[in-house]
Amino acid sequence: MPKELFAIFGDPVSHSKSPLMHNWAFRGLGYPGCYTRYRLPDGEKLREMFFALGLRGVNVTVPHKEAAYRACDELDSFARQVGAVNTVVEREGRLYGYNTDAPGFLRAIETLGGKDVLFLGAGGTARATAAVLREAGYRVTLLNRSAARLEPFREAGFEVHTWEDFRPRPFDLVVNMTSAGLKDEALPAPEALLKPVLKEAKGAVDVVYGRQTPFLALAKAYGLPAKDGSDMLLYQGVIAFDLFTGGRFSPEEIEEWMCKAFDE
């Protein structure tokens, strides 16, 4: 049987663990698939490259999730609601778009407990996850550097603050939803705002994975249970794999193989 080809599209993609995760699962579950990475500087070329490379499906990472949303012929209702797509599957020449980041994130934080959450950042990932968390009964407050990105959240009824008008109060969970710390040593908000919040919090999460960010280091200095974005990455990958392979494997068996990528 010819192999189906999958990829991650983004810029950069060299750091991505997705190829390892999916290839472990393809091999372990005996599915004829192969997953590679493709650096795509121009998101508007996504559709053209998808077909030129003969792909069956892709995951999409920073900064092309909105471009992926525009490139699809069909969107599932959640992807349409959040305006961002991270998983694309081809069926009979048409592209179907999904967002698996938010359910992946929800699953990753379930074990941490507490429903009052502060998001640092208001980008595409925050937009997708805030909606899912609210549906699951969480209260989400957003703190962001720029005011402009907060506007859609304010319109959707979330409590929003810029660094200038934020007054620290206790939260159960504090989440770095920015790319601060991904490639630099930046904190996602000024230390003077973060310290009193982390002092009172019950846990901290960073969506960045694979490195100790300054935010996670600060949270640990306050003795907080803290996790990076690895669980989110794993769980969004399990859901994407299920979409790529047409629902023929259980989430448990996909996870069992995929998580081997984190031992390498």
- Helix, strand, coil fractions of the chain, as percent rounded to 5: 45, 20, 35
DSSP conformational letter for 3 = P
Tally Cβ neighbours within 10 Å of residue 82.
22
Binding mask 44-63 for ligand NDP (x = CB under 6 A): ------------------xx
Binding mask 233-262 for ligand NDP (x = CB under 6 A): x--x--------------------------
Q: Is 186 in the site for ligand NDP (CB under 6 A)?
A: yes
Q: Is 194 in the site for ligand NDP (CB under 6 A)?
A: no
Q: Is 101 in the site for ligand NDP (CB under 6 A)?
A: yes
Is 65 marked active-site? yes
Q: What's the token pair of residue 154?
A: 């304010």
Three-state secondary structure call for residue 128? helix
Catalytic residue among 45, 65, 115, 199: 65
Cα angle value 252/109/126 (rounded, 5°): 115
End-to-end CA distance of the chain: 29
Tally Cβ neighbours within 10 Å of residue 143.
26
Task: Decide whether 233 or 261 has the Cβ nearer to ligand NDP.
Answer: 233
Rounded CA-CA distance 119/174 in Å is 6
Binding mask 106-145 for ligand NDP (x = CB under 6 A): ---------------xxxxxx-----------------xx
Q: How far is CA 51 from the centre of its chain?
A: 25
Q: Is 226 in the site for ligand NDP (CB under 6 A)?
A: no
Binding mask 2-41 for ligand NDP (x = CB under 6 A): ----------------------------------------
Rounded CA-CA distance 44/263 in Å is 35
Residue number of the CB atom closest to ligand NDP:
123
Q: List, by residue number, the catalytic residues.
A: 65
Binding site residues, ligand NDP, CB under 6 A: 62-63, 65, 101, 121-126, 144-146, 149, 177-180, 182, 186, 188, 207-209, 229, 232-233, 236
